[in-house]
Amino acid sequence: MFHGDTLAFSWTIPVNAASPHDGVMERFDEIAGLMARAFRSLGVDAHVGEVSGEYCPGRHSVNARGETKLMGVGQRLIRKAAHVGGVVVVDGVERIIDVLTPVYRALDIDWRPDTTGSLRNELRQVSYDDVKQAVLNEFAANYELYDGNLSPDTLTLAKTLEPEHIAPLSPTAP
């Protein structure tokens, strides 16, 4: 679940192993550790691990104080690459709870809404840009980063397809 107060990230990694499944756990460990360090650099008591009752549970979630989920992560594998991505909740816990409550109820899945956290709940003064910069700083401490730009054709296509991906109840929906 993501919205305007979440930071979605993705990291595509070449995989030279015989199978992209080789290294799955190491990639999960790496990205979860990196994100936890980025959050700690902001002053959050961040840890890697599932919080009992969290939405979309996973042992590589990043949490605050072992009590509330701040970030989830997943992987998509193809023959020569792995795509690791996730969502960081900067603010807007209420929106997530509003969306997930009827879904989890309809699916009859246990979930404790009070495990849904945000960086803003942990640090009142943290901004989206603060979080983005902390994540970039942590990546830069571990990897060489390059600026990149999407081509005009890609941007035009994205604008054309955007209306198909805006939720009907979204404040920015047409």
Q: Please give, one letter per residue, the 3-state secondary structure of the chain.
A: CCCCCEEEEEEEEECCCCCCCCCHHHHHHHHHHHHHHHHHHHCCCEEECCCCCCCCCCCCCEEECCCEEEEEEEEEEECCEEEEEEEEECCCHHHHHHHHHHHHHHHCCCCCHHHECCHHHHCCCCCHHHHHHHHHHHHHHHCCCCCCCCCHHHHHHHHHHHHHHCCCCCCCCC
The full set of domains in the chain, from first to last, is 6-147 (3.30.930.10)
> What pLDDT sits at residue 80?
86
Residue 37: its pLDDT value, please? Answer: 98
The pTM is what? 0.85
User: CB neighbours (10 Å) of residue 42?
Assistant: 17
Q: What is the pLDDT of residue 78?
A: 86
- pLDDT, position 173: 47
Q: Render each residue's pLDDT in the chain as its tens digit; 174 residues.
A: 789 999 999 988 888 767 778 889 999 999 999 999 999 999 999 999 999 999 999 999 999 999 999 999 999 998 888 999 999 999 999 999 999 999 999 999 999 999 999 999 999 999 999 999 999 999 999 999 988 898 999 999 999 998 887 766 645 545
